[in-house]
Chain A
Amino acid sequence: DADVTQTPRNRITKTGKRIMLECSQTKGHDRMYWYRQDPGLGLRLIYYSFDVKDINKGEISDGYSVSRQAQAKFSLSLESAIPNQTALYFCATSGTSGRPSSYNEQFFGPGTRLTVL
């Protein structure tokens, strides 16, 4: 079974709808991240969380919100979807135990392709 799972894998929705993307991990990692990928722009960080009570904005958080329901679950919401939020969304995790504090290998889910019409 995959260590980092994302649901749904594909979603088509309409402008103005509220959408939630979910991420679960079985790696026991404390840190979780949400990115979006756009062609020619690489990956951009939306939000990240270092534990259940910690939420931080990334470089493109406007129009998005997150919830860390448990150590293993981190969901991303689009309160009112707009067409320029059409993208591939990735969840990632990283762990801090047994590693140098400056080492930040991240493990990615398979992605959610979101289309906003």
Chain B
Amino acid sequence: GEDVEQSLFLSVREGDSSVINCTYTDSSSTYLYWYKQEPGAGLQLLTYIFSNMDMKQDQRLTVLLNKKDKHLSLRIADTQTGDSAIYFCAESYNTDKLIFGTGTRLQVFP
């Protein structure tokens, strides 16, 4: 079956860059997504990348896609305490469903 994997935890100092990694299995995925879940809330779409792109930049966020290795990463520049959350990558499966990763809990310390 389809599987999306992430490391469970990441801890960074405020002002540093954070890099959250994800590996996926469905090479036919046309879109890949990053969602953010803040404490006590549902998930919100942070950014996405179309599969024919290698990189997408959106303010402090940079998404890198390596289709050959099926590897997706999210870089957050100048990480702030407000970035502390759980980050999920997701791939489109058969265009009907999303397959979510296990989530990476990002902790930002002063």
Instruction: Give the B-binding residues of A (Cβ under 8 A).
Output: 4, 33, 35, 40-45, 48, 50, 58-59, 90, 92, 100-111
Out of B44, B88, B97, B101, name the residue touching A58 (CB < 8 Å).
B97
Total A-B Cβ pairs within 8 A: 61
State A101–B4 Cα separation when bound (angstroms).
22
Q: How far does the alpha carbon of A100 sit from the alpha carbon of B4 in the complex, in Å?
A: 23
Q: Which residues on B are within 8 Å of A, measured CB to CB?
A: 1, 4, 6, 8, 30-31, 33, 40-45, 48, 88, 92, 95-98, 100-103
The answer to whether A90 touches B8, judged by C-beta atoms less than 8 angstroms apart, is no
Chain B residues with CB under 8 Å of A111's CB are: 41-42
Query: Is the beta-carbon distance between A102 and B95 smaller than 8 angstroms?
Result: yes
A35: chain B residues within 8 A (beta carbon): 100
Residues of A within 8 Å of B1, CB to CB, are 59
Task: Judge whether A42 and B100 touch: CB under 8 Å.
Answer: yes
User: Could you give 17 example pairs across A and B, Cβ below 8 Å?
Assistant: A33-B97, A40-B102, A41-B102, A42-B4, A42-B100, A42-B101, A43-B88, A43-B103, A90-B42, A90-B43, A102-B95, A103-B92, A104-B31, A104-B95, A106-B43, A108-B44, A110-B41
Q: CB distance B100 to A110 under 8 Å?
A: no
Whether A104 contacts B92 in the complex (CB less than 8 A), given A45-B97, A90-B43, comes out as yes
Q: Which residues of the partner chain A approach B41 to less than 8 Å between Cβ atoms?
A: 110-111
A108: which B residues are within 8 A, CB to CB?
42-44
Partner of B33, one of A41, A48, A100, A105: A105
